[in-house]
Structure 1
């Protein structure tokens, strides 16, 4: 997810009905959660681990090939396939995520469908999907972060801040929610709060610069779409305010 853990633009609406959202895509058998309880065989476990290592190394196509050789009845296998398909821009990701609805990985399916909706600019469906995912898995930091991004894209800054803060506290090892929260503070010209956050979470100089870059992108978007900026500052003045904030923060928190 740049300002998005989901890989969608800040400029990225139809709502799916509850019934349609819980249909199982043809070609995949529905399950009641038992498939997740069934442990994979040793050979399958080796295949999953090998696919994960390849994906972590950036060898997504090789990882996908190995996953395609594993039982497609497994929701975990389909989830991993869906994530790779989304990352390489393949349309099959939609059906794979949809096939998880009604299984023990419904929350992950809703999250994936929400990410795809956000990427194509359907903020209404993205919000619905990610809110549902968060209700099913309220302690999943990645879902809460993604929901925060969708809120931020809709100028719901208070809601976005709540989700980012929740994600930060749920998973302090994941730096993305903290970086997104810092970017939001920069956008709002809250330099002191930004400096406090950097100090409290021991954010690196790289993270601070990344947040500054994201805030500039959001500021630029706000000129035409009033995104995240809640004052009436004119575009030239907004650029000046941001530059002043960047200078102040860099002096305070960057080596």
Structure 2
């Protein structure tokens, strides 16, 4: 994708910004390889991503970015201990926000309270990251902390209106809190498909039943 974008300007134009030293060429190659790894993670090709991470580590050494990408791949593969170790190695560096986000996702299935603490740390470091605000809002929703979840999910939707996950989670929260006027407003504005609305209704009922059974305070 990077190569195609570079060719789009035509053959007749000189690109003064093109790398012309070995160091610049190596830096460009690393950047392209990292972009490839990120694309593999987005496409859920976690084993392939790990193979390319290992190749990059072997050819040019490790880096915080590669450690983070490796942690993401291992988390998705269920290698929790290895992923947590990698995330924790990044907590004092420039990728601390990403590492706290990863830890929050790592702990979400097994310790929701700890997950929320890590996600709050991530949101404090990246308040305009819609993904982080959405994940924090959803964790708070699952914990039955609806009043706290509302601003997080609303912020996520406003930061990234095209984020279907954040929008659906906001609708889910509105359903759980029985704000039908709000539910309909979001459905109309976003044009949410009927089958998606039906699935969210089912999820909301399950959350309400779980909250009622555990005595969760709204």
Using the size of structure 2 for normalisation, the TM-score is 0.79
RMSD: 2.2
Number of the residue aligned with 2:48: 62
Distance change in 2, residues 1:127/1:54 (3 Å)? closer
* Post-superposition offset of 1:40: 6.7
Q: Which runs of 5+ in 1 are unaligned?
A: 1-37, 231-255
In structure 2, what is the Cα distance between the partners aligned to 1:56 and 1:147? 20
Structure ranking higher in helix proportion: 2
Number of the residue aligned with 2:95: 105
Q: Structure 2 matches for 1:120-199, cutoff 5 A? A: 120-123=110-113, 125-199=114-188
* Post-superposition offset of 1:141: 0.7
In structure 1, what is the Cα distance between the partners aligned to 2:194 and 2:131? 23
Q: Structure 2 matches for 1:64-103, cutoff 5 A? A: 64-71=50-57, 73-91=62-80, 92-103=82-93
Higher Cα Rg, which structure: 2
Distance change in 2, residues 1:55/1:134 (3 Å)? closer
Q: Which runs of 5+ in 2 are unaligned?
A: 1-23
* Post-superposition offset of 1:83: 1.3
What SS does the aligned partner of 1:69 have? helix
Higher RCO by CA contacts (8 Å cutoff, separation 6 or greater): 1
Q: Does 1:50 align with 2:36?
A: yes
* Post-superposition offset of 1:222: 1.9
In structure 1, what is the Cα distance between the partners aligned to 2:25 and 2:102? 24
In structure 2, what is the Cα distance between the partners aligned to 1:117 and 1:55? 19
Bigger mean CA deviation after superposition, 144-153 or 196-205:
196-205
Cα pair 2:112 2:143 within 8 Å, conserved: no
How many residue pairs are counted as aligned between the two chains? 191
* Post-superposition offset of 1:206: 4.3
